[in-house]
Amino acid sequence: MGTSKRAIAALVACALMATGCFGYNRSAKGWSYVGDTILLLGGGGLIAADLATKDKECMETTLVKCEYKPPISGVLVVGAVLAAAGLFGYMFNATRPNVKTSR
C-alpha cells in the first residue's frame, strides 16, 4: 500500500470516527472510549509504520542526484492528528457530565 493510499485511508477513518467519539450518557461514553481507543491505536500505528518504512539516505554523487524528501510526511501528520483526536476524546468524555434521559 503506497504512502498516499495510507494517508487517504487514515483521513477517511478519521472523518468517520470523528462524529462518534463523544458520549452523553454512561452507555454512549463506554462506546466512545472504544472509538477513542481505535483512533489512538490507529494514529500510533500510522506513525510507527511511517517511521519504520523510511527510505535510506541517498548519497549524492556526480552521477546520481538525490531528490528532496521532506523530514515530515503526510502519513506522519495524519497519524499525529488521529492520536490527538483519540486523546482529546478521552479528556472530553472524562470531564463531560452524564445527561439523564427519561424513558
- The pLDDT tens digits for 47-98 are 998 888 877 777 777 677 788 777 888 888 888 988 998 888 888 888 877 7
Specify the long-range contacts of residues 30-36, CB closer than 8 Å, at least 24 apart.
Answer: 32/89, 32/93, 33/89, 33/90, 33/93, 35/89, 36/85, 36/86, 36/87, 36/89, 36/90, 36/93
Predicted confidence at residue 18, as pLDDT, reads: 56
Predicted confidence at residue 92, as pLDDT, reads: 84
The reply to whether 26 falls in a domain is no
- The model's pTM: 0.68
Predicted confidence at residue 3, as pLDDT, reads: 59
The reply to whether 91 falls in a domain is yes
The reply to whether 23 falls in a domain is no
- 3-state secondary structure string across the chain: CCHHHHHHHHHHHHHHHHCCCCCCCHHHHHHHHHHHHHHHHHHHHHHHHHHHCCCCCCCCCCCCCCCCCCCCCHHHHHHHHHHHHHHHHHHHHHHCCCCCCCC
The reply to whether 85 falls in a domain is yes
Is it the case that residue 15 has pLDDT exceeding 80?
no
User: Residue 40's domain spans which residues?
Assistant: 1-18+35-54+70-97
Contact in structure between 48 and 14 (CB atoms under 8 Å): no
Predicted confidence at residue 93, as pLDDT, reads: 83
The reply to whether 40 falls in a domain is yes
Confidence of residue 102 (pLDDT cuts 50, 70, 90): low
